[in-house]
Amino acid sequence: MKIVAALTASLLLLGCSAQGPPAAPLLPEIDFAAVAARLEPRPTRGKASDPFPNIPLTDQHGREFRFFDDLIEDRSVVVNFMFTQCALVCPGTTSNLVRLHEAFRGAVGRDVTFLSISLDPENDTPEALLRYWKAFGSHEGWLYLRGDYEETELLRRRMGVYDLDPVIDADKTQHSGILTFGNDLTNRWAALPALSNVQDLKETIRRFAVRGSRGDRPLARVAPAAAEAETIYRSRGNIRAANVPRHEIVLAHEEVPGLMPAMTMTFSVSPDIPLTEFRVGQHVDFGLVNEPTGFRVVELAPTRSDGATL
C-alpha cells in the first residue's frame, strides 16, 4: 500500500534514535511468516493499519488487549517502543511524552491514547511496567504494554520502526526514539522523532491523529517549553564513566523525584562543569534540567558522605 510504504519510508529516513553505544549482537533469526501465520488473520479494509498484526498484549495493570481490535480500530493513538531497562533513549523519550501528555490536558484517554510497547517482554513484566508508569507520574490514558517477543518484533516491523542495517536494528535503543501516531478512522498516519519540541509534536499529532483536530473538540495549547526547562531535578549517583571531549557522563543514580526511576544513564553535562575534576567511581550530587533536546546535568558536586554504594 502506498500509505504504508510512505510511513515506512519516513521512519527509515528519520532513523530511530540518537547515537548510542556500540551496536548490539545481531538478533536471533525470526521466521516472520510463521509468526504471522499463527495469528488470526484480519480482513483487508484498504487502510494503512491493514498490515498491523492483531497481537495479544497485557498492560501495566494486567489487563489483556488485542492490538488492532482493542487499541487501533477507529481510534487515535500515539505509539512508541521502549523497555524499562533502557538507560539511553527511553527515559528522555518518556519524559518528553509526559510533557506531551500534559500539553494535551484531558484529551489523552478521551480523544487519543498513548501506547508504549516493550521490546523486552522477558524483563518487562506487568509489575515492572507498573513501577515504570508510577515512576513517571501514573498518567491516565497511557498504556504500557508487553506481549510475545516474536510477535512484538513482527508488529514493530509492520509499523515500519526498523533499520535496514541488521547490526543497527539489533540495538533496541535504536527503536525508542520515534513516535508513530495516527487516526485509524480517518486513515492518517505519520511519525516524528520523540524528542522533538513538545509544541511541534502536539500540533502535528492534533492535525494527523486526534479526532478533535477538526474543530469539534479543540485542545488547550501547551505552555511554553522554556518554563519546563527551568526546573532542576536533583538526586545523587555514582560516576560509572566519563567522556570529557563530548562532555558526557554515565551515572548510576537513585530515583530522580518527579522525573525518572533509579537507573544507569548517559547524560550530557553543561560545559561550565569541569569534568576533569571528577573521577570514575565517585559519588556525586547532581541536578538535571529536562530540555526539548534531552537531559542535561547543570549541577555536579562530590557527595559529602562519599563511600555509599549504589
User: C-alpha angle with apex 8: 144 to 222, nearest 5 degrees?
Assistant: 55
- Sequence-ordered list of residues with C-beta below 8 angstroms from that of 155, at least 6 positions apart, any chain: 52, 53, 55, 67, 117, 147
Q: In terms of CATH architecture, what is 2-223?
A: 3-Layer(aba) Sandwich (3.40)
- pLDDT for res 26: 55
What are the tens digits of pLDDT across the range 133-188? Answer: 988 888 899 999 999 999 999 999 999 988 777 777 666 666 567 899 999 999 99
Q: How far is residue 291's CA from residue 146's CA, in Å, rounded to a whole number?
A: 29
Q: Are 12 and 164 in contact (CB under 8 A)?
A: yes
Give the amino acid at 257. Answer: P
- pLDDT for res 215: 35
Considering the chain, what percentage of its residues have pLDDT values greater than 90? 52
Q: How far is residue 160's CA from residue 154's CA, in Å, rounded to a whole number?
A: 10
Give the domain 228-302 fold: OB fold (Dihydrolipoamide Acetyltransferase, E2P) (2.40.50)
Q: How far is residue 160's CA from residue 189's CA, in Å, rounded to a whole number?
A: 12
Over 50: is that where the pLDDT of 19 sits? no
What are the tens digits of pLDDT across the range 34-63? Answer: 999 999 999 899 999 999 999 999 999 999
Q: Whose grid coordinates read 499463527?
A: 38
- Cβ neighbours around 10 below 10 Å, total: 16
CATH 2.40.50.320 residue ranges for the chain: 228-302
**Stretch 110-132: mean pLDDT, rounded?**
94
Supply the pTM of this predicted model. Answer: 0.67
CATH 3.40.30.10 residue ranges for the chain: 2-223
